[in-house]
Amino acid sequence: MQNNTITAPRGFLAAGVRCGIKKSGNLDLGLIVCPTGAKAAAVFTTNKVFGEAVTVSRENIKSHSISAVVVNSGNANACTGYRGLLNALKMCSRTAEQIGTDPWKVLVASTGIIGEQLPIGKIITGISKAAAKISASALPGLDFAKAIMTTDTIPKQAVRRLEISGKKITIAAAVKGAGMIGPNMATMLCFITTDVAITKPLLKRALKDAVGDSFNKLTVDGHQSTNDTAIILASGLSGNRPITSQCPRYKRFAKVLEEVCDDLARQMALDAEGATRMFKVVVKGAATKAEAAKAARAVADYPLVKCAVHGGDPNWGRIICAVGSAGVRLNPDKLSCKLGDITVFKNGRARKFDTKKASKVISQAEHTITVDLGVGNKSDFCYGCDLSKEYVTINAEYHT
């Protein structure tokens, strides 16, 4: 069986164990190790309040080489002050000790409840347990993907393979995130491994671009968490001639990396808390790309649109309403809207359409809403998901 987990690229080991943070007894501690050291890049939350693990990883990412990533779920270690910061540092030092590296070569991430101190004793024991289990095979890779889950219902992974200068390159990733997801990242942790040989600045650029066109286009509930982190580790073990400029080889790598992230973003949308389906909002005819993005997000975030999608209701009035109040330039007499291929609104007027057919389009696992603002030629998009009763149940009952 082909390994399609985070350990698929050469040079990576992983493990996922239960250390006892989650009351459910599910896996809650994950570890990725790159014994030869990896070039690394990361993108973090822009929330002004951020977790202690983010503080530490923001520093450690500056290291020339990263040897490991340690992650716990069930507790976000956010708003925990000096003690929380110390605990994040301890997670790094314990991991370093176990695998024989320096603490500043370890990245750390946490996700879960905000404002509670980590049960650091359990985590320390868990790190030893994980270090004893690390392996390059598929099962520990899957365990890692499971160990980072919170309200996710399924582990989310993606893998892509490509060739660069005759060498096989693998990009693999595991992601968590099911709610509290707004453009510009959210309660989302993403870990990407690859064996490509590339410079650190180019790796960072590729990650930033890929995140910008995938995770940052996804909105579940319009907000961004304190702990968002996307990390990429490149072991360089594929043997390709190192990528040192924005050459065609870089572009191929960057494109496939974006595909991986896009794949994960869609998985997150479909596994969003209570979501039963997702949709893509494409806004064209905008004056600027930023306005297209703003309008697309306004539609994807609008609870009434999300409810209409949930009900399979081709209620384009709510789409038009969201666009009209998005604060972007539009021409009311040229404004148009399509659900899938069905034109429901054209040049500012309702169009007769087959509502049964339109309802079928919307009821698919994924469909596209296209809006033309009629003022320019710029476009952008956003991913959204429906809003169900289960979302409310999950979030009214996930107690602090």
Binding site for a copy of itself (CB under 8 A): 46-50, 76, 78-81, 113-116, 179-180, 182, 184, 221-226, 298, 301-304, 307-308, 310-311, 313-318, 320-325, 330, 332, 335, 345, 348-350, 355, 387-389, 391-400
What one-character DSSP code corresponds to residue 11? Answer: T
Question: Cα(289)–Cα(308) distance, rounded to whole angstroms?
Answer: 27
Could you tell me the smallest distance in angstroms from the CB atom of residue 327 to a copy of itself? 9
Count of H helices and E strands in the chain? 11, 14
Q: Which is nearer to a copy of itself, 224 or 235 (CB)?
A: 224
Cβ distance to a copy of itself smaller for residue 380 or 386: 386
* Separation of alpha carbons 365 and 171, rounded Å: 26
Write down the least CB distance from residue 346 to a copy of itself, Å: 11
| Minimum CB distance to a copy of itself, residue 47 (Å) | 4
CB of 190 to a copy of itself, least distance (A): 18
Cβ–Cβ < 8 Å for 39, 199: yes
Tell me the closest approach of the beta carbon of residue 373 to a copy of itself, in angstroms: 10
Selecting among 55, 101, 187, 229, the annotated active-site residue is: 187
Nearest CA to 296 out of 183, 179, 386, 177 is that of 183
Identity of the residue numbered 64: H
Between 162 and 321, name the residue whose CB sits nearer to a copy of itself: 321
Instruction: Considering the complex, state which of residue 239 and residue 348 has its C-beta at the smaller distance from a copy of itself.
Output: 348
Q: Which parts of the chain fold into alpha helices (H)?
A: 52-60, 81-99, 120-133, 138-147, 200-212, 248-270, 289-301, 303-310, 316-324, 355-362, 389-397
Q: Which amino acid is at 193?
A: T
Nearer to a copy of itself, 5 or 226 (CB): 226
What's the closest the beta carbon of residue 370 comes to a copy of itself, in angstroms?
Answer: 17
* Least distance between a copy of itself and beta carbon 316 (Å): 7
CA 254 to chain centre: 16
Identify the CA nearest to 76 among candidates 34, 36, 14, 118: 118
CA distance 290 to 308: 26
DSSP one-letter string for 117-165: ---HHHHHHHHHHHHHH-BSSHHHHHHHHHHT-SS-SS-EEEEEEEEET
The rounded distance, in Å, linking the Cα atoms of 366 and 315 is: 16
Closer CB to a copy of itself, residue 1 or residue 396? Answer: 396
Q: Would residue 187 show up in a list of annotated catalytic residues for this protein?
A: yes
Q: Which residues are catalytic?
A: 187
